[in-house]
Structure 1
Amino acid sequence: MKNNNVGDAQKWMLELGVRYAAVHLPASGQAVALECMGKTWKTQMVIHNGRRWFLNGGWAKFARDNGLRVGDICLFDLKKYPRELTMNVHIISREQLSLK
């Protein structure tokens, strides 16, 4: 995570990888459910200029509720359900990274 995802900049949005998004995500904005440790957060995926995918509109609550900090890593496991785009999120804290 970077400052604009969870830190002092407080833009509270997450830009998704463009190569991955172009292949696996819809080309239009829509609701995205984030699942982590048995809980679910509703976010909104928006697309800027047809080539940059972002999560916002709920990303801030997800980040705060999970105590995300600069240096943490989130791994997103995409699940496609007929009614809702859902991602399982696995969080690796910066402390866990320094132990390895």
Structure 2
Amino acid sequence: MHPSDRVRFVIETAKAVLDERLPPDEGAAAVAVQAAQITPLLRSDRDSVTRAEAESVATQLRLLAEQVNDRASGLADPAAHLEIARAIGEMAQALR
């Protein structure tokens, strides 16, 4: 499976949190479950795509993690946002 297909739901979940369509705590719980399930699979996926394709998905994930982290800096309770950013960053790292 292509890594971009595998992380699509994670990306949409994080964007829903950023757009305030999903509460941060629910988003963090969903991303944590997704990350636990797909991070090991991403490691094997990187072997089935080109290096450039894996890097592209990893970059997209890193940029999204930075957006979530930036949003956390202005919040009174940033814990959920930080958890989302951490999980997305780990997924990006799995593609390296």
Question: TM-score band, normalised by the shorter chain?
Answer: under 0.3
The structure, 1 or 2, with the larger RCO (C-alpha pairs under 8 Å, 6+ apart) is 2
Q: Which has the higher helix share?
A: 2
Q: Which has the higher strand share?
A: 1
TM-score when scaled to structure 2? 0.25
TM-score when scaled to structure 1? 0.25
